[in-house]
Structure 1
Amino acid sequence: MYAPRVFISMFSALVVFAIASYVIGGSVVTTIIATVIATIVLQTGYFIGVLILVARQGSHTSSSAPRPASSPSQRLENQAPFRAPPYENR
């Protein structure tokens, strides 16, 4: 994710929430408290979402990644043979 876009989106959502909260409740203090609570909930959800993405990525790479060879000769054995491209007959 692109960080500035995430921050702008998060800020925009909180501004809309604060305006709606003020229109519904009519109290500035209640609006501030509700917006702070919404900020905490939003940040917690974002953090948990990132943790889930990292955990999934870690499980995919650890199971599908080949094991590293322990010696240079084993690394050469594991490589596919080199094949030169065919020459054109002119």
Structure 2
Amino acid sequence: MRFPKFLVGMLGVLIAFAVTTYMMSNSLWTAVIETLICAVIIQIGYFGAVLFLVMRERSRNAERRKSLVSDEASSQTPSQPFNTSATKAP
């Protein structure tokens, strides 16, 4: 998810959360404080999700490099120092 899309979604959620909290508590300060706490929790979740995706991609790249190295090593046949077919007598 791109950041602008996330930002719009997060603001929508926070506005809905603030309105709901204000309606339930009838206190502006309670709504503001709880909305700020909710914003911090959402940011921590977003950071954790991005960190997870980066770490997963890094491990995938490491696996790809390992498989490329092993494929190259297995596809190379050892060369023989002498051509045995040319040295055989007819």
Q: TM-score, normalised by structure 2?
A: 0.71
The one-letter amino acid paired with 2:63 is S
Structure 1 residue 8: deviation in Å?
0.2
Tell me the amino acid that sits aligned with residue 3 of structure 1.
F
Letter of the 1:39 counterpart: A
Q: How far apart are the structure 2 equivalents of 1:32 and 1:2? A: 27
- Structure 1: segments with no counterpart, 5+ residues: 68-73, 79-90
TM-score (norm 1): 0.71
Q: What per-residue deviation string (whole Å, max 9, x for no partner) do you get for residues 41-69 of structure 1? A: 000011011101111111011111234xx
* Amino-acid identity (%): 31
Larger Rg belongs to = 2
Give the number of the structure whose residues are more often helix, by fraction. Answer: 2
Aligned residues: 70
Does the alignment pair 1:13 with 2:13?
A: yes
Alignment RMSD: 1.8
**1:6 aligned partner, one-letter code:** F
* Offset of residue 5 of structure 1: 0.8
Tell me the equivalent position of 2:36.
36
Give every structure 1 segment of 4 or more consecutive aligned residues whose post-TM-superposition deviation is greater than 6 Å. none
Q: Which residue of 2 aligns with 1:3?
A: 3
Deviates more, 1:47-56 or 1:57-66: 57-66
Counterpart residue number, 1:70: none
1:67-78 alignment, distance < 5 Å: 67=69
Q: Which amino acid aligns with 2:61?
A: T
Residue identity opposite 2:46 in structure 1: Y
The residue type equivalent to 1:50 in the other structure is V
